[in-house]
Homo-oligomer: A and B are copies of this chain.
Amino acid sequence: MSTQFALANASVPPVAPVMFVPPSRLARLPLPAAEPTDAWDRVLPAAGTVMSLPPDREIYGEGEKVTSLFRVVSGVVRTCKFLSDGRRQIDAFYRVGDVFGYEAGAVYRMTAESVSRCTLVAYRRSHIDLQAAGDEALLQQILAHALTGIQRTQDHVVLLGRKSALEKVASFVLELAGPRPGKRPVALPMTRQDIADYLGLTLETVSRTFSQLERDGLIQLSGARQVILKDITALHDMQS
């Protein structure tokens, strides 16, 4: 299972907005998965529809009929929900190798949108279900994926319900940095507003909190879209 969080790949091969790729061609597509192989490699069919999207484009909307599930080839995707007055809560960011759009029912329960420019492969849901119907190991892998998603969302619940702004932002940069953060700069592919809507804050509070963490020497911002973790231990402690 990949880590669900990543830097966006800066450049994307010039692919037409939506095109079908036969298996032979797809096999040659570079697939820089976060981990060499994951469960989905055996789950997904060899062929899918490749899509290239500009930033902030809707991939599917909450309430729409489920047609496909998607794998991120490059870039970053967000899934979110909206309240009637427009308030937005981002549930997750998906990065290279991550799969999203697998739903319990017949309709999507989230809206999915591109954060950066990105490339996706879409797999028809009916194909998956058909294949899963005959393959028990495959079913177990999908189940494992679902259960892992629950764990991630449950950590998110604790963050939203019980952490301060400082703790939220510290948790966020550590999540972005991955399991073994180092001195390497960490890219922030999303806007302050995206971060705010993920952490249950306003964009101003996110900005102020980044500034405070920098003043306190825990991080260093190189531009708005890159962070260097200066004191990982302190960040860990701050996370609570």
28 pairs, CB–CB < 8 Å, chain A vs chain B: A81-B154, A81-B157, A87-B240, A89-B157, A89-B158, A89-B162, A91-B154, A91-B157, A102-B147, A103-B147, A104-B147, A104-B150, A110-B154, A133-B136, A136-B139, A139-B143, A142-B143, A146-B146, A146-B147, A146-B150, A150-B153, A153-B153, A157-B157, A157-B160, A160-B160, A160-B161, A161-B197, A161-B199
Say whether A149 faces chain B, with CB atoms less than 8 Å apart: yes
Q: Shortest CB–CB separation between residue A42 and chain B, in angstroms?
A: 16
Q: How many copies does the complex hold?
A: 2
Say whether A233 faces chain B, with CB atoms less than 8 Å apart: no
Say whether A88 faces chain B, with CB atoms less than 8 Å apart: yes
In the complex, which residues of chain B have a beta carbon less than 8 angstroms from the beta carbon of A154? 81, 91, 109-110, 153
Say whether A140 faces chain B, with CB atoms less than 8 Å apart: yes
Interface size bracket, A side: 35 or more
Residue of B nearest to A148 (CB): B104
Say whether A216 faces chain B, with CB atoms less than 8 Å apart: no
In the complex, which residues of chain B have a beta carbon less than 8 angstroms from the beta carbon of A88? 162
Say whether A185 faces chain B, with CB atoms less than 8 Å apart: no
User: Which residues in A have some Cβ–Cβ distance to B below 8 Å?
Assistant: 81, 83-85, 87-89, 91, 102-104, 109-110, 133, 136, 139-140, 142-144, 146-151, 153-158, 160-163, 197, 199-200, 240
**Given A104-B148, A162-B88, A162-B200, residue A83 in contact with residue B143 (CB < 8 A):** no
Residue of B nearest to A151 (CB): B109
Q: Shortest CB–CB separation between residue A147 and chain B, in angstroms?
A: 3
CA distance A81 to B102 in the complex (A): 26
Residue of B nearest to A143 (CB): B143
In the complex, which residues of chain B have a beta carbon less than 8 angstroms from the beta carbon of A157? 81, 89, 91, 153, 156-157, 160
Residue of B nearest to A132 (CB): B140
What 10 A-B pairs have minimum CB-CB distances, sorted nearest first?
A104-B147, A161-B200, A160-B160, A146-B146, A89-B161, A89-B158, A83-B240, A87-B162, A160-B161, A143-B143
Q: Shortest CB–CB separation between residue A132 and chain B, in angstroms?
A: 8
CA distance A161 to B194 in the complex (A): 13
Indicate which residue in B89, B149, B199 contacts A150 across the interface (CB closer than 8 Å): B149
Q: Shortest CB–CB separation between residue A41 and chain B, in angstroms?
A: 19
